[in-house]
Amino acid sequence: MNIDYSQFLNMIPEVTLMALLVIVFIADFATSQRAVIPTSNGEANSSSRVWFNPLVCLLMAAHIVINIFPTTASVAFGGMYYTNPSVGVIKTILALGALIVLIQSREWIQRPDTQFKEGEFYMLIASTLLGMNMMVSANHFLLFFLGLEMASIPMACLVGLDKYRHNSAEAAAKFVLTAAFSSGIMLYGISFIYGAMGTLYFDDIAAKITATPLTIMGMVFFFSGLGFKISLVPFHFWTADTYQGAPTTITGYLSVVSKGAAAFALCSILIKVFGPMVEYWQYMLFIVVVLSITIANLFAIRQRDLKRFMAFSSISQAGYIVLAIVGNSAMSYTTLSFYVLVYVVANMAVFSVISSIEEHNNGTVDMESYNGLYKTNPKLSFLMTIALFSLGGIPPFAGMFSKFFVFMAAVKGQSLSTTPGILAYSVVFIALINTVISLYYYLLIVKAMYIKPNEKPLPWFKSASSTKLALAICTAGIVMFGLFSMVYSWIDSASVASM
């Protein structure tokens, strides 16, 4: 069998990621020393490689620079793989999120009890990102499923990477069980679609799909399986426990990069494959969005553990992300991509602060630890406040614009004289009310830092240089993405070119 290797030129993001993976593997293999399991006092005999993290960050930055310019639409491997400018943009956003995670992780990964796993950590991050790229470029359900599993299995390893501290092993077990269950449900739905259509190619299915019992059941099961990955209600029960037990750096990665890839894949498949059945999945999205935003907001108010708090925040944010799909228009791609980009920088800023405080507070992440934080660590408090304001949608930060565009996309082309139009406007109104609720619980953290008294606040500490750099990137994004329209225009031009 002859293979046309020139088609790999259509897969530059995946090729550069594979190159990064190989370089990191060789560097780790050539320079690592024999490591032992940490002792009870947290010591390990692996030597520190101060150059390793900067090397990986530079490689990821080079990957972003190479792929930041939108490419023309192209396919590979018999049409199973496709790319276009819009797909290229979302891959760049995912890579940016991974880069921030890599920068922020340096302080944690070089602890005595984790530094011997440094190489594995970087390779697992690259592997999950490679799977996400394959997932968003899939034009065939089989390739989509393979990409999803390429992202999920290394992610389970990342969740359990810190198994000697906290509840990381338990979190990994819950993640694996949930991922296996959701994958089974998804495969069950894909089998229904294949049985009804006789093909797994997206274009072929879209050309002849009609609303039959088999296709409706297939769509529902497929959506349910992907709903687990995005943490939509009622598929969200694993989220809080997994986020709480995973290392904080991984929790941030799981909440933004993984969620963004799954949301974009859902948007693409619903519009591209199940477009002729829009009247069915649109009602399904209305229900899921309302449940996700409302239930997550109510549960977030009750949380005192910051990682569980951010878990329910991420469930609510997932509802806003999916709300962009309701409009079923070209604006959906633009709005979803922009929302994910803003969410990446805002959420990673919060997790950078949480991770830094956790490292200097004996691993504690409860909200009481933030009481009076402004008195001893005013800069961290200020940056945390900006990030929370952006997540809550307070102007002039980027989060306000991303929410505004989501609401616009949801009602675009909808008429109040039709039932779907009335429901769309109603869902947006409910989302607006929930935005006010989210402001309340985000301000609980601000209140703790600035107002609540604390006789023994967390002492002043100097954040690591890597944490400062991650916070600088995130803060710049929170401010600039809201004030400068060129970022939204770049995403919108790519989406228009992909139509």
DSSP string, 243-283: HHHS-HHHHHHIIIIIHHHHHHHHHHHHHHTSGGGHHHHHH
The phi, psi pair for 72, rounded to 5°, reads -75, 160
Predicted local distance difference test score (pLDDT) of residue 36: 43
Tokens of 125: 């991050």
Res. 472 pLDDT band, cuts 50 70 90: very high
Predicted local distance difference test score (pLDDT) of residue 33: 64
Whether 139 contacts 201, CB under 8 Å = yes
Res. 165 pLDDT band, cuts 50 70 90: low
DSSP 76: E
For residue 75, what is the enclosing H or E element? strand 74-76
Q: Convert 320-368 into a string of H (helix), E (strand) and C (coil).
A: HHHHCCCCCCHHHHHHHHHHHHHHHHHHHHHHHHHHHHHHCCCCCCEHH
Say if residue 134's pLDDT is above 80: yes
Rounded Cα distance, 91 and 114, in Å: 29
Nearest to 214 by CA among 200, 194, 199: 194
Q: Residue 74: helix, strand or coil by DSSP?
A: strand
Predicted local distance difference test score (pLDDT) of residue 372: 84
Dihedral sign for Cα atoms in the order 399, 400, 403, 405: negative
For residue 82, what is the enclosing H or E element? strand 81-83
* CA 105 from centroid of its chain's CA atoms: 16
Rounded Cα distance, 96 and 491, in Å: 14
Whether 466 contacts 99, CB under 8 Å = no
Least confident of 41-55, 215-229, 292-306, 308-322: 41-55
Least confident of 87-101, 314-328, 412-426: 412-426
Rounded Cα distance, 251 and 351, in Å: 8
Whether 376 contacts 455, CB under 8 Å = no
Q: Which residues contact 19 (CB under 8 A, 6 or more apart)?
A: none
Say if residue 180's pLDDT is above 70: yes
Read off the pLDDT of residues 228-271 as tens digits, 9 standing for 90 and up.
Answer: 888 898 888 888 888 888 888 899 898 888 888 998 898 889 88
Rounded Cα distance, 152 and 1, in Å: 31
